[in-house]
Amino acid sequence: MSQHLPPNHPPVPQQKIGVLLLNLGTPDATDYWSVRRYLKEFLSDPRVIETNKLLWWPILNLVILSFRPQKSGHAYAQIWDKRTNESPLRVITREQTENLAQRLEGEGIVVDYAMRYGNPSTQSVLEKMQAAGCQRILLVPLYPQYSATTTATANDKAFDALKQMRWQPAVRTAPAYSDSPDYIKALGDSIRDGVAALDFEPDLVVTSYHGMPVDYLQKGDPYHCQCYKTTRLVRDYLGWPKEKLMVTFQSRFGPTEWLQPYTDKTLEELPGKGIKKVAILAPAFHSDCIETLEEIDIGVRESFLEAGGEKFAYIPCLNASQGGMDFVESMVRRELAGWL
């Protein structure tokens, strides 16, 4: 092909296939301004906050961004990876990317990752992949259950970047995988292994999902139903009775009614009901982050023990575990069918 190019034509890269793992995002540091920049981008997303912009703008910029960055920065500081000076989410997502790249090595595939909010930005990574010769790119939002606030907005950001490209690559989007048999197996095995490794037998295992306003559910978001389906399928896979595995929802924000039962309130009430030994996990996240490592493993743990609980264990997300990466590889290979 290069023999037919006109003189001084820029080099033409070899055609490749790209796989882009998409995650939520993270501030670059724990200081006020770094966290503020991240929160402003996150909370300005109309997919996340559906309140009228004219009402939301002064609340966000004059109230929330004046005080919230200090609180969030303190929370991030408690879990910050001091070895790499990064948030655990970025460290884990990079590990997942490197692991998948090794599994796909030699097949002409470029694997990378990007964040919906913060760095590395979706636009910068897509531009890098396109410049490297990726003319076909698979977008893989790492959200097991579909929501407009997660899967949809991650894809939106990628489409925004594509709109600015003169020579767009062909793009596919991997679907959410809340009921994928391979995912249920990976999640179920991680729960079984996590419980088996404990020095106590939990009275109850809690699956805590990130919450959302009830209004979003009423508008047609399938997230709530998919959360319950994931837990039901995992319970069936494990062969556990219904009362052994419970669904709750965490991370509510503002005065609006959110999906219930609330994780924090539920855990505070359990000791009074005689349930004093619990294990908890967060199946809405594929990678551990502030909502799991700080909100659950620190905050909810303290609340449960203060309420009279005796034993508390957090079971990590799939992260870059063997089972978790086996699932990601199988999903990616399935979605690349016809391209490889």
Which residues are documented as binding site for Fe(2+)? 210, 291
Task: Residue 25: name the closest of 141, 104, 138, 126 by CA.
Answer: 141
φ, ψ dihedrals at 126, nearest 5° = -60, -40
Task: Residue 149: name the closest of 247, 257, 43, 37 by CA.
Answer: 43
Are 24 and 90 spatial neighbours (Cβ–Cβ below 8 Å)? no
CA distance 158 to 68: 28
Binding residues: 210, 291
Task: Residue 93: name the closest of 289, 300, 294 by CA.
Answer: 289
DSSP tag of 295 = I
Query: 311: which residues sit within 8 A by CB, 6+ positions away?
Result: 198, 200, 202, 276, 277, 278
CA distance 263 to 266: 5
CA distance 277 to 274: 9
Residue 215 corresponds to which tokens in the numbers above? Answer: 């209004």
Collapsing DSSP states into helix, strand and coil, what is residue 272?
A: helix
Beta bridge partner(s), residue 314: 280
Query: 167: which residues sit within 8 A by CB, 6+ positions away?
Result: 130
Task: Residue 192: name the closest of 262, 261, 244 by CA.
Answer: 244
What DSSP string describes 135-194?
A: EEEEEEE--SS--IIIIIHHHHHHHHHHTT-SSPPEEEEPPP-TT-HHHHHHHHHHHHHH
Please return the burial class of 192, using the count of CB atoms within 10 Å of its CB with bins 0-12, 13-18 and 19+.
middle
Residue 63 corresponds to which tokens in the numbers above? Answer: 């109230």
